[in-house]
Amino acid sequence: MRVRSRAVSGEQKVKRRNAILQTALTDFADMAYDELTMDHIAADAGLAKGTLYLYFRSKEEVFLALCERELSQWFDDLDTALQTRRAEMSVNSLVALFADSFAGRPQLLRLLAILHTGLEHNVHYAAALSFKTLLKTRTATTGALLESYLRFLVPGQGAVLLIKIYALIIGFEHLSEPSGVVREVLSQPDMELFRVNLQSALLDTLKILLMGLAYEAKYRQA
């Protein structure tokens, strides 16, 4: 019986909760969501399986919370990077900025890809609300920020753009991670079209999207 020091104070509890999330993240980097068991996470966190359930109500809530945390950090990064800029930004420099923000967060992109089919099921209202509220708030803020740097964006379009980016992440993440057999098939020379690189596909499409919005804005003015 290991009986780790008990987390009595609220602060200690937050720390332990974060430790669990950190373990989940590390484990998730090594294996697929389905392969990752609660046993595994508990063992790696040096806790008993039951203890996990004192902090999260289900496996999905663990990863939803993780997604929330990672997403929040991503928004932090993005906001910081944006606020560094003084004036209007070009499409290219904004795309580059997004590129940087994705760069060190492969796990976040993978989490988003399973968010709707996996993580948002078997979750309590409170957890879902917390997640969506964070997402809403940050999307609104960062969306507004984007609007201030990209003059062609109409109020509200910043947030909508972020939703589109979100959809692109999910879609291209799926495309870029083929199963074993499919990878074999795609290794054929004539299958080049389907060998998707997540970063470049994402950024390429984002750029086109921004140009489309810019073009549309021109039209509108005319």
Residue 153 interacting with its own copies (CB under 8 A):
no
| Per-residue CA distances from 193 to 31, 125, 173, 190 (Å) | 27, 41, 15, 8
Residue 194 interacting with its own copies (CB under 8 A):
yes
Find the shortest distance in angstroms from Cβ 39 to DNA.
6
Q: Using CB distances below 5 to 8 A depending on partner kind, what does residue 163 bind out of DNA, its own copies, none? A: its own copies
Q: What CA–CA distance (Å, rounded) separates 149 from 172?
A: 26
Find the shortest distance in angstroms from Cβ 181 to its own copies.
5
Residue 47 interacting with its own copies (CB under 8 A):
no
Site string for DNA, 89-108 (x = CB under 7 A): --------------------
Residue 4 interacting with DNA (CB under 7 A):
yes
Residues forming contacts to DNA in the complex (CB under 7 A) are: 1-8, 13, 16, 34-39, 46-51, 53-55, 57-60, 122
